[in-house]
Amino acid sequence: MKSCWNLRLSNYVVFVLALTVSSSMAQFSAPEDHLDKVSNNASNYLFPVEPGTPNLLAGTMGELRSNHFHSGIDVRTNGRIGVPILSAQQGYVSRISISTGGYGNALYITHPNGHTTVYGHLDRFEKRIADFVRKEQYRKKSFDINLYLKPGTFDVARGDTVAFSGNSGGSSGPHLHFDIRDKNNEALNPLLFNFGEVVDNTPPVVRKIALRTMDINSRINDQFGRFEFYVTEVDGNYKLPYPILASGTIGVELLGYDRLDNSRSQCGINLIEMYAGNDRIFKQEIDKVNFGDTRNILTLMDYTTLKTSGERFNKLYIDDGNILSYYGGSTGKGMITVKAEDIPIRIALKDAYGNESFVNLSLKASEPAKEVVAMTSANKLLSYKVIENILEVTSKRELGDSIVAYFGKNIEYAANTYSGKNQHVFLFDLRKKLPDSIRAGNQIINTHFKDMIPSGIIYKYYSDLMDINFSKNSLYDTVFLRVQYKNKDREVFSIGDSIYPINSSLTITLKPKGNYSERFSVYRNTGRYFQYMGGSWANGKITFSTREFGDFVLLEDTNAPSIIKMAVNGAAARFKIRDDLSGISYYEATINGEWLLMNYDYKTNMIWAERKDSKVPLKGDLSVKVVDYAGNENIYQEKIP
Ligand SMILES: [Zn+2]
> Quick one: how many helices (H) and strands (E) in the chain?
4, 51
Between the CA of 6 and the centroid of ligand 1 the distance, in Å, is 10
Interatomic CA distance for residues 163 and 497, integer angstroms: 45
Q: How far is the CA of 599 from the centre of ligand 1 (A)?
A: 21
CA of 289 to the centre of ligand 1 (A): 13
If you measure from the C-alpha of residue 214 to the centroid of ligand 1, how many angstroms do you get, rounded to a whole number? 35
Model pLDDT, residue 236: 79
Which of 166, 175, 168 lies closest to 102, judged by CA? Answer: 168
User: Residue 492, class by beta-carbon neighbours within 10 Å (0-12 exposed, 13-18 middle, 19+ buried)?
Assistant: middle
Beta strands 244-257 and 356-365 are parallel
d(CA 163, CA 133): 12
Q: Work out the average pLDDT over 463-467.
A: 97
Q: Is the pLDDT of residue 25 over 60?
A: no
Are 238 and 359 in contact, with CB atoms under 8 Å apart?
A: yes
pLDDT surpassing 70 at residue 524: yes
Running DSSP on this structure, what letter comes out for residue 346? E
Lowest mean pLDDT: which of 13-27, 330-344, 452-466?
Answer: 13-27
β-strands 536-538, 244-257: how paired?
unpaired
Measured in Å, residue 60 CA sits from the centre of ligand 1 at 8
The pLDDT of residue 610 is 78
Ligand 1 centroid, distance to 74 Cα (angstroms)? 5
- Is pLDDT of 36 > 60? no
How does pLDDT run across 238-261, given as a tens digit for each residue? 999 899 999 999 999 999 999 998
Structure confidence by residue, pLDDT tens digits, 61-98:
999 999 999 999 999 999 999 999 999 999 999 999 99
pLDDT over threshold 70, residue 24: no
Per-residue pLDDT tens for 299-353? 999 999 999 999 999 999 999 999 999 999 887 899 999 999 999 999 999 999 9
- Would the pLDDT of 380 be above 90? yes
Q: How far is the CA of 73 from the centre of ligand 1 (A)?
A: 6
Taking residues 194-207, report their average pLDDT.
Answer: 94
Q: Does the structure show a pLDDT above 80 at 30?
A: no
Cβ atoms within 10 Å, residue 64:
20
Q: How far is the CA of 433 from the centre of ligand 1 (A)?
A: 45
pLDDT at 8 over 50: no
Judge whether residue 457 has pLDDT over 60: yes
For residue 20, pLDDT over 70 is answered with: no
SS3 314: strand
Q: How far apart are CA 59 and CA 7, in angstroms?
A: 10
In the reported structure, the alpha carbon of residue 19 is separated from the centroid of ligand 1 by a whole-number distance in angstroms of 26
**Bridge partners (DSSP) listed for residue 178:** 73, 119
| Cα–ligand 1 centroid distance for 63 (angstroms) | 10
Asked if 504 and 458 count as a contact pair (C-beta separation under 8 A), the reply is: no
* Phi, psi angle pair for 278, to nearest 5°: -95, -5
d(CA 581, CA 530): 7
Ligand 1 centroid–CA 70 distance in Å is 6
Q: What is the average pLDDT value for the chain, to the nearest integer?
A: 91
Phi, psi of 21 (to 5 degrees): -60, -45
Longest dimension (CA), the chain: 88
Inter-residue contact 247 to 218 (CB < 8 Å): yes
**173 CA → ligand 1 middle, Å:** 11
For residues 171 and 613, which has the higher predicted lDDT (pLDDT)?
Answer: 171
8 A C-beta contact, residue 348 and residue 272: yes
> What's the CA-to-centroid distance between 551 and ligand 1, angstroms?
32
Share of the chain above pLDDT 70, in %: 93
Ligand 1 centroid from CA 376, angstroms: 42
* Mean pLDDT of all residues in 202-216: 96
- pLDDT band with cut points at 50, 70 and 90 for residue 144: very high
Where in 430-472 does DSSP place strands (E)? 437-440, 443-446, 449-453, 459-462, 466-470
